[in-house]
Chains A and B, each alone.
Chain A
Amino acid sequence: MNNPMIVIDKVCKTYHLKSRPEPVRALDNVTNHIDRGEVVVIIGPSGSGKSTLLRSINRLNEIDSGTITVDGVNVTAKKTNINALRAEVGMVFQHFNLFQHKTAMENIVMPQIIVAKRSRKEAEEIANDLLEKVGIPDRANNYPSMLSGGQQQRVAIARSLAMKPKVMLFDEATSALDPETVGGVLELMRGLAADGMTMAVVTHEMGFAREAAHRVIFMDEGAIIEENNPDDFFDNPQSDRAQDFLRQIL
């Protein structure tokens, strides 16, 4: 139990954007870890590097220096089979990113067949169970264009869960949703947390952070400024920047 699920060690990342004269320091010597079964919520102002950090964990973003390991596997090492690693790290995006040419069912089935090499029958059984679990069993044969944002995000979560991941990453999973559908998706995420899933969640939902997180990480300008358990963080933030941030959003 002592070895953490995710270890982030002295990670740096700088963006050189053509639109900006100066390079942008997205991650500045970030060191942290996420334990097995832990739910960590990462918050901070936009541009603080929280999404970059999250996307570095499954190497959707390359880092410049430092190391990240997931369950003991070095994410950035050349010899790591990144596809095998990504299959074990579920990721949920702000804009769902369902495969537009596939039904809800096929979105969940296809990766299982292609990546996990399951039989179609087994994959469909798993998909049916998951559609039930995320609360939209009647939408199996709908295309993404016929689903609401909340429904699409449920399918996206089911698609990730179908790979039986060790970790789930949520990158502003509710930011693009209509207010009335946010609650349902958060409920689903709370359920996963209660089941013991290891989760890293970038979100602006402070209610979720307070209730579901074991630990809150506050980032600004590419660095972790403060981390604490949610009650202490929200009731008694230590740093000026965290105080400012919470004043503005609460």
Chain B
Amino acid sequence: MEMIADKLSIVQSLWPFLIKGLWVTFQISMISILFGSLIGFTLGIGKTLGNVVLEKCINAYLHILRGSPYLVQLYIIYFVLPSLGIAWLSFDSYTAAIVSLSLYTSSYVTEIVASAIFAVPNGQSEAARSVGMSKTQTYRNVIIPQALKLTIPPMASVYVIVIKSTAVLSVIGIAELTRQGEVAIMRMPGDIMFIYLLIAFFYFLYCYPVLRFSKWAEGRFGQLGNDLH
């Protein structure tokens, strides 16, 4: 009984800090997901337009982002870019976090969007072009609406990865969930195990609904021709 009361008092004293950390995690991840998705959608569409130069540039961008660890990207953006002496590249930690995480998100979203567009059968665009639609009209009215449905399930998985990647931001001193936990551990080093479990539980609270949504979306939107009625 005493042990439970002990743990409860830890939870009670840490609760406000962890909630604050979760809120920061939530903000940063949501903003990064928003920007990352916008960049990713744009690049993903760009990759399918059949322009070889554009495609090569986008592929290079993807290879650089996906071929290096997120932690290293974060270090470069936060520590190395300011040393170049260019004013607008000297980010504060919050901005550096959002910029790096947005780029990281965009690399996954680009691939998802491009493969979804390629997955829409060629006959759809042939039919659209044969009634006189331009390439732009075909994309807007026929290809993208169908491709978007296909992106929903994999997108939810990427969002969960991005949410969990925010834990890395603790290394540049952002007071997100993991950082709040580490501070707490410094105060109560004897409860390290319990506090980490608590942090994991908080991440779970955030990620689980997203994963559930992904599962649900997979059944509902996972294939072409499975309509929204």
A-B contact count (CB 8 A): 76
Min CB–CB distance A157 → chain B (angstroms): 12
The one of B129, B130, B137, B224 in contact with A100, judged by C-beta atoms closer than 8 angstroms, is: B224
B residues less than 8 Å from A110 (CB atoms): 141
Residue B127 contacts which of A83, A93, A115 (CB distance < 8 angstroms)?
A93
- On whether A114 and B124 interact (CB within 8 A), knowing A58-B130, A86-B131, A101-B149, the answer reads no
> Which 6 pairs show the lowest CB-CB distances between chains A and B?
A87-B132, A97-B127, A97-B123, A111-B131, A91-B130, A115-B132
Known: A83-B134, A114-B133. A99 touches B128 (CB 8 A): yes
B131 and A163 within 8 A (CB): yes
Chain A residues with CB below 8 A from B134, complex form: 83
* B226 interface residue (CB < 8 Å to A): yes
- Contact assessment for B131 and A87 in the assembled complex, using a CB-CB cutoff below 8 Å: yes
Which range contains the number of A residues in contact with the other chain?
20 to 34
Interface residues of B, count at CB 8 A: 24
Q: Out of B132, B225, B226, which one reaches A84, CB within 8 Å?
A: B132
Interface residues in A49-102 (C-beta closer than 8 Å to B): 58, 60, 83-91, 93, 95, 97-101
Complex-state Cα separation, A111 to B224, whole angstroms:
21
- Give every chain B residue within 8 A of A159 (Cβ-Cβ): 127, 131
A88, A100, A163: which contacts B227 (Cβ < 8 A)?
Answer: A100
Q: Is B214 an interface residue (CB 8 A)?
A: no
Q: Give the A-binding residues of B (Cβ under 8 A).
A: 121, 123-124, 126-134, 137, 141-142, 145-146, 149, 224-229
What is A's interface to B at a CB cutoff of 8 Å? 58, 60, 83-91, 93, 95, 97-101, 110-111, 114-116, 143-145, 156, 159-160, 163
Decide if A100 touches B146 in the complex (CB within 8 Å).
yes
A115 vs B138: C-alpha distance when bound (angstroms): 11
Contact status of A99 and B129, CB under 8 A, knowing A143-B229, A145-B225, A145-B227: no
Q: Closest residue of chain A to B226, judged by CB?
A: A145
A210 to chain B, nearest CB (A): 28
List of B residues within 8 angstroms of A97 by Cβ: 121, 123-124, 126-127
In the complex, what distance in Å separates the CA atom of A91 from the CA atom of B125? 13
B128 contact set on A, CB distance < 8 A: 99, 111
Chain A residues near B142: list those with CB within 8 A. 99, 101
Instruction: Report the separation of the CA atoms of residues A196 and B229 in the bound assembly, to the nearest whole angstrom.
Output: 39
A-B contact list, 10 entries, CB within 8 Å: A60-B130, A91-B127, A97-B126, A97-B127, A98-B127, A99-B124, A99-B142, A101-B142, A110-B141, A111-B128
- Nearest chain A CB to B137 CB, angstrom units: 6
Please indicate the chain B residues that have their CB under 8 angstroms from the CB of A163 in the complex.
131-132
Do A101 and B127 have beta carbons less than 8 Å apart? no
A114 contacts across to B, CB distance below 8 A:
133, 137, 141
Assembly CA distance A164 to B132 (angstroms): 12
